[in-house]
């Protein structure tokens, strides 16, 4: 399953990247974000592995992020592994003049593990896209008011 989401942010690309690339800001725009812990490599560099924790209801969701491409301000791509799924998320940033930036996200789910995740992907693929777009919209609001 593959999909794309995007948002236009009324901020210069330099400012957008500054806010996006700071893990301390994740709690401002990603619902349930708890923490990010470096597991190996150099934080923010290609090859770095980090554990991301999110609270979802009564559950804690753990993702392992491995940075694959980091060529900001143009692109950041990472592999995300969860016990029920694996995806690659590519973030692309484009300056639209001096005070506007387009952020486009391409997500490709490469593996679903277990009956329920496979069923969700088959019957409700829009749920995944809706959550991604929600975070992009929340980042826009955060970036434009920060």
pLDDT, one tens digit per residue, over 33-54 is: 999 999 999 999 999 999 999 9
Instruction: Report CA Rg, the chain.
Output: 15
| Residue 108 pLDDT | 97
Task: Give the per-residue pLDDT at 125.
Answer: 79
Task: Decide: 71 and 63 in contact? Cβ < 8 Å.
Answer: no
Residue spans per domain, the chain? 2-145
Class of domain 2-145 as given by CATH: alpha beta
Query: CA-to-CA distance for 7 and 22, rounded, in angstroms?
Result: 19
Tell me how far apart the alpha carbons of residues 99 and 40 are, in angstroms, rounded to a whole number.
36
| pTM, two decimal places | 0.94
pLDDT (0 to 100) of residue 146: 78
List 90's β-bridge partners, or say none: 77, 106
Instruction: List, in sequence order, every residue forming a beta bridge with 65; answer none if it has no partner.
Output: 50, 80
The pLDDT value given to residue 116: 83
pLDDT surpassing 80 at residue 79: yes
């Amino acid at each position: 399953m593959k999909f794309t989401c995007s948002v236009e942010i009324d901020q210069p690309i330099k400012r957008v990247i500054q806010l996006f690339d700071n893990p301390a800001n994740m709690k401002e725009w990603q619902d349930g974000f708890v923490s990010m812990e470096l597991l190996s490599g150099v934080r923010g560099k290609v090859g770095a592995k980090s554990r991301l924790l999110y609270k979802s209801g009564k559950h804690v969701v753990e993702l392992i992020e491995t940075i694959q491409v980091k060529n900001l301000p143009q692109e950041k791509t990472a592999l995300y592994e969860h016990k029920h799924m694996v995806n690659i998320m590519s973030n692309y940033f484009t300056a639209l003049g001096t005070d506007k930036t387009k952020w486009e996200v391409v997500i490709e789910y490469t593996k679903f593990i277990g009956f329920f995740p496979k069923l969700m992907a088959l019957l409700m693929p829009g749920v995944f896209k809706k959550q991604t777009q929600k975070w992009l919209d929340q980042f826009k609001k955060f970036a434009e008011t920060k």
